[in-house]
Every structure is written in structure tokens, then in C-alpha cells.
Amino acid sequence: MKTKIKFIILFIILFLIIVSFLLYISYSNKIRDIHYSNNPNTAYVINLNDRPERWEHIQKKFKDSDISLERIPAIKHKKGHIGCGLSFVKAVKFAKENNMETILIFEDDNKPLPDFNKRWLVIKKWLDNNLDKWEIFNGGARYPDWQEYEKKATSQHSKETILKYSIENKEYLFQAPLVVSTNWIYINKNAYDKVIKWESMIHNTPFTPIDQYITNIKYFNCVFSIPHLALQEDGQSDTSLNSKNGYWEFDKVDKRLISIFNEVYYRELAKYNL
């Protein structure tokens, strides 16, 4: 009888070891498909395997910049906005595993604006030297503005936006209760575990998209730049949340939003005679 019990216990232990090993291999394979770069000015680009044209397009956009690009095979999900969020979590797990101080993540429809390269070098240097003053940096922040009811929120968020940091009186970082968009996100190692936690929240009601989680000051010390470093290209959406027939028309919205951001910029700088 004792021998039989010992055998059962041994079998269970062996079974658990095998399951743990298989789970580890599965997790490692998800991370191993990302190439680690020693270049501190690397952006990791989230890109679905079935959207190679987007990967080619963004490489052309950044080919003459100081930012090198590495591709992250995105996680495909029947609900695109969940796949996007899981892809961000995947990138952050990769950064944590490789003991990276920070990670710069782009979406593949990222559209850099004039002078982004020179400006980013100034902003990045300050961020890297002040890791205790921020957790998330958003280079392409937008106020929520897709639906009619969100325009009221946009007005309130813009009123509550404050100038947080001045960088050599050249660049300025701001903070608002909530911004959205994750086309240009820089994440501090101090925020890795909190970002990864989003994975356990995908079945929550109400659901919180990744961009409304990591850029919400209730959860993260998030700052953003005005003017923007980048916006997003119009095009067929892989997330489909709030888009019209799966097509995002960013230009229509961003013209209005840039005007609002400019008002915030000059209002806040005037307070400090900058």
C-alpha cells in the first residue's frame, strides 16, 4: 500500500514537472521571436505576420533617423484590441526578462512628424536620467474623441492638463487625467509589472483597452509631449474598436485635436512665462 502511495505521489510530481516545463517552453518561444538589440535607441514595432506591408512602410519612415527598429510579431486575437494589448504585454515581458531599463514600443501605423528625431533625442536623454519622475511616456497622445459623447470628455481632459516638466526650456512634458493612443510608448522598468498585470484584466467588465490603462494617471505616472512626436496613419484597423467599418480616419480627428493640444501648450507655458 505504501509503495502504491509513493508511486502515485511520484507520478503527480513528475506530471507537474513536465507541465511546468512545457509552459516554460511555450512562454520562452513567445519571447524568443523578438530580437534583442544592444542599441539603446531601438524601437520595438508591433506588427502582425499577415501585415508585412506595414512593417515595410514603417521602416521607410524611420530609415534616416537615429532610431533603429526591431519587429515584434504581434499576437493575433479575434478581438483585435485585445491582441494589441497582449502584444504590448509580450513586449514588456521581453524587456523585463532582458533586464532592460526602458523599452520603446511603436505600433506599425506610427507616423513620425517633422523634427521628431532631434526632439526625441532631447526628451529620451531627460527621461533616461530621471527614471523616478515618470513611468510611461506617450509621444503620440490624443484625448478621447471618436464618439460625440467623448468630445465632452476631451474638453474636460484638456482643461485638466498641466505642464509637468520643462526640459532645458526646449521640450515640455504634460500630464492629463487620461489620454489615449499607443503608437509611440516609452516604458520605464518601474512600470513593467503593472503593465503585465493588464493581461489578467482582459475579462473584466467593463473592459479597459491597453491605451486607456497605461496612459491613465489613476494607474501610471504618464507624461506626454506637446507638440506630438508622431501621430497615426489612416488605414484599415487591426483593432476595430470604435472604427468605422474597420477603417481609422485619424486625420479627420487629429486636425481638431492638434488645435486643442496647441491651446493647452500655450496656456500652460504662459503660466510660467516660458
As a whole number of angstroms, the distance between CA 13 and CA 5 comes to 12
Strand partners, 174: 163, 224
Tell me the average pLDDT of the chain: 86
Higher-confidence position of 236 and 80: 80
As a whole number of angstroms, the distance between CA 163 and CA 270 comes to 10
The per-residue pLDDT for range 179-194, each reduced to its tens digit, is 999 999 999 999 999 9
Helix/strand/coil (H, E, C) string of the chain? CHHHHHHHHHHHHHHHHHHHHHHHHHHHHHHHCCCCCCCCCEEEEEECCCCHHHHHHHHHHHCCCCCEEEEEECCCCCCHHHHHHHHHHHHHHHHHHCCCCEEEEEECCEEECCCHHHHHHHHHHHHHHCHHHCCEEECCCECCCCCHHHHHHHHHHHHCCEEEEEECCCEEEEECCECECCCEEEEEHHHHHHHHHHHHHCCCCCCCCHHHHHCECCCCCEEEECCCCEEECCEECCCCCCCECCEECHHHHHHHHHHHHHHHHHHHHHHCCC
Residue 226 has pLDDT above 90, yes or no: yes
Strand partners, 104: 43, 186
Q: What is the mean pLDDT of residues 147-151?
A: 67
Higher-confidence position of 38 and 90: 90
Query: What does residue 188 show for φ and ψ, rounded to 5 degrees?
Result: -85, 140
The per-residue pLDDT for range 152-174, each reduced to its tens digit, is 777 888 999 999 999 999 999 99
| Range with top average pLDDT, 7-16, 27-36, 88-97 | 88-97
As a whole number of angstroms, the distance between CA 205 and CA 220 comes to 20
In this prediction, residue 134 carries a pLDDT of: 98
* Candidate from 101-105, 133-137, 142-146 with smallest mean pLDDT: 142-146
Cβ–Cβ < 8 Å for 118, 158: no
Peptide bond into 177 cis (omega under 30): no
Residue 272 has pLDDT above 80, yes or no: yes
The per-residue pLDDT for range 229-268, each reduced to its tens digit, is 999 887 655 555 444 555 566 777 788 888 999 999 999 9
Radius of gyration of the chain (CA): 21
pTM confidence score: 0.84
Q: What is the mean pLDDT of residues 203-218?
A: 92
In this prediction, residue 24 carries a pLDDT of: 44
A 10 A CB-CB count for 9 gives 10
Percent of the chain with pLDDT over 90: 65
Residue 23 has pLDDT above 60, yes or no: no
